[in-house]
């Protein structure tokens, strides 16, 4: 009998294909990591009721936060759980406060798809700056040269200013790309020191100054009570009428109605969005029908490497905690000193007697 029980809810039936193995609920990658510490992954079928899920999870040693939001109601009924694992940077799927109160470590994978998201941010920046959506529409409408006078007013990218809101891993990767395109970079992040910003060639400023000076504003803040609708009416009023707003972080960090109003009124010039306040997108959402807005379906992290490596890392983080050690990435690190876990040390290279 396995030493540990890990519970996860399926979101789709796995059919055995390559894409199913990576994108759906074939948990072979996670199992490979969990088996190292003799942990068994118990899969809860789709459509399982909350009460039935609570009953199954009650004696779990770990919860894998996929397929269902791990609420305070679930967390408060856990008897043995020491870790809740996430295969993402964001932890929206977990009530982190309830987990912290319960002394449960919440892990994530904050450094697994940084480059992909930074690439996507710059793709949206360039598409918005060069008005690619409008250009594409003109061709499909049979108006090959009608828009040329308007496009001749597009400012040169070199020498413009990019403002980055939240200067974590993604923000820093975006800044490196921005320098290569000749952009001056500003950053606002009250939790990052000025020295960390300046060594990246970035000018630290207040949020208001960033909004007032930037030609592009790129939002990368995580979603929490401090950042929910952080960019709203007042913030858009501080921006240039020629500015473009980018969001590749979390949709609810932006007041979407305020963004729509700012775009429709000409308060700002355009937007490039990978995330929306409500997802999947409502097809009636005005943002989908504006020629100065580029929207992608919350897919900035996508690459051939992203899915298998994030799932592998999620499994490894849970296995690390179950083996009695601190994880690499604890969302709620104040819990760690309250546990019996030892400070993190890497696995031996053998990863076990037969590996």
Contact call for residues 215 and 162 (beta carbons, < 8 A): yes
pLDDT in tens, 233-288: 999 999 999 999 999 999 999 999 999 999 999 999 999 999 999 999 999 999 99
pLDDT at residue 111 is higher than 90: no
Q: What percent of the chain has pLDDT over 70?
A: 92
Residue 90 falls within a domain, yes or no?
Answer: yes
**Distance separating alpha carbons of residues 355 and 336, to the nearest angstrom:** 29
Specify whether 278 is located in the same domain as 309: no
**Distance separating alpha carbons of residues 185 and 195, to the nearest angstrom:** 15
For residues 112 and 241, the model is more confident at 241
Specify whether 60 is located in the same domain as 145: no
The pLDDT of residue 149 is: 79
CA distances 70 to 52, 128, 231, Å, are 14, 37, 27
Burial of residue 121, with CB atoms counted within 10 A of its CB: 0-12 exposed, 13-18 middle, 19 or more buried: buried
The pLDDT of residue 34 is: 96
Specify whether 176 is located in the same domain as 196: yes
Specify whether 23 is located in the same domain as 81: yes
pLDDT in tens, 114-155: 999 999 999 999 999 999 999 999 888 888 877 677 788 899
Last residue of a domain, one of 295, 320, 346: 295
Specify whether 146 is located in the same domain as 263: yes
What does pLDDT average to over the chain? 91
Specify whether 135 is located in the same domain as 270: yes
Q: What percent of the chain has pLDDT over 90?
A: 79
Residue 64 falls within a domain, yes or no?
Answer: yes
Specify whether 287 is located in the same domain as 150: yes
Specify whether 141 is located in the same domain as 273: yes
Residue 346 falls within a domain, yes or no?
Answer: no
CATH number of the domain at 155, please.
Answer: 3.40.50.720
Specify whether 281 is located in the same domain as 139: yes
* Residues with active-site annotation: 250, 279, 298
CA distances 205 to 14, 191, 234, Å, are 48, 13, 18
Residue 351 falls within a domain, yes or no?
Answer: no
| Domain ranges, residue 13 | 4-111+304-338
Residue 355 falls within a domain, yes or no?
Answer: no
**Distance separating alpha carbons of residues 340 and 322, to the nearest angstrom:** 11
**Distance separating alpha carbons of residues 86 and 106, to the nearest angstrom:** 8
Residue 352 falls within a domain, yes or no?
Answer: no
Lowest mean pLDDT among 8-12, 47-51, 103-107, 189-193: 8-12
Question: pTM value?
Answer: 0.79
**Distance separating alpha carbons of residues 96 and 333, to the nearest angstrom:** 11
pLDDT in tens, 320-342: 999 999 999 999 999 999 999 99
- Tell me the residue length of the chain: 355
At 22, is the pLDDT very low, low, confident or very high (cuts 50, 70, 90)? very low
> Does the N-terminal peptide bond of residue 280 adopt cis geometry, omega within 30 degrees of 0?
yes
Specify whether 187 is located in the same domain as 260: yes
At 354, is the pLDDT very low, low, confident or very high (cuts 50, 70, 90)? very low
* Total domains in the fold of the chain: 2
Residue 345 falls within a domain, yes or no?
Answer: no
Contact call for residues 310 and 112 (beta carbons, < 8 A): yes
The pLDDT of residue 17 is: 38
Mean pLDDT of all residues in 194-204: 97
Highest mean pLDDT among 91-95, 230-234, 298-302: 230-234
Residue 350 falls within a domain, yes or no?
Answer: no
Specify whether 257 is located in the same domain as 322: no
Specify whether 246 is located in the same domain as 284: yes
| Total Cβ atoms within 10 A of residue 137 | 13
The pLDDT of residue 141 is: 86
């Amino acid at each position: 009998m396995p030493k540990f029980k890990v519970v996860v809810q399926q979101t789709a039936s796995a059919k055995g294909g390559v894409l199913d193995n990576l994108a759906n609920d074939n948990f072979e990658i996670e199992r490979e990591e969990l088996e190292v510490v003799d942990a068994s992954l118990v899969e809860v079928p789709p459509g399982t009721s909350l009460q039935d899920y609570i009953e199954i999870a009650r004696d779990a040693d770990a919860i894998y936060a996929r397929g269902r939001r791990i609420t305070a109601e679930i967390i408060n009924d856990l008897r043995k759980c020491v870790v809740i694992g996430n295969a993402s940077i964001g932890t929206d799927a977990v009530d982190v406060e309830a987990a912290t109160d319960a002394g449960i470590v919440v892990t994530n994978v904050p450094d697994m798809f940084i480059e992909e998201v930074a690439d996507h941010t710059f793709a949206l920046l360039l598409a918005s700056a060069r008005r690619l959506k409008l250009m594409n529409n003109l061709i499909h409408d049979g108006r090959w040269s009608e828009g040329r006078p308007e496009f001749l007013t597009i400012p040169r990218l070199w020498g413009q200013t990019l403002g980055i809101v939240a200067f974590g891993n993604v923000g820093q990767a975006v800044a490196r790309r921005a320098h290569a395109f000749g952009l001056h970079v500003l950053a606002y992040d009250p939790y990052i020191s000025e020295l960390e910003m300046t060594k990246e060639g970035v000018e630290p400023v207040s949020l208001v100054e960033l909004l007032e000076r930037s030609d592009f504003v790129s939002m990368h803040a995580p979603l929490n009570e401090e950042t929910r609708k952080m960019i709203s009416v007042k913030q858009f009023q501080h921006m240039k009428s020629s500015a473009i707003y980018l969001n590749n972080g979390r949709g609810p960090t932006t007041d979407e109605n305020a963004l729509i109003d700012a775009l429709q009124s000409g308060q700002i010039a355009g937007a490039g969005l990978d995330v929306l306040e409500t997802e999947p997108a409502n097809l009636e959402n005005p943002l989908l029908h504006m020629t100065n807005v580029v929207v992608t379906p919350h897919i900035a992290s996508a690459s051939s490497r992203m899915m298998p490596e994030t799932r592998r890392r999620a499994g490894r983080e849970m296995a690390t905690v179950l083996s009695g050690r601190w994880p690499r990435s604890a969302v709620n690190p104040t819990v760690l000193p309250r546990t019996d876990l030892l400070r993190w040390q890497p696995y031996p290279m053998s990863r076990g007697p037969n590996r």
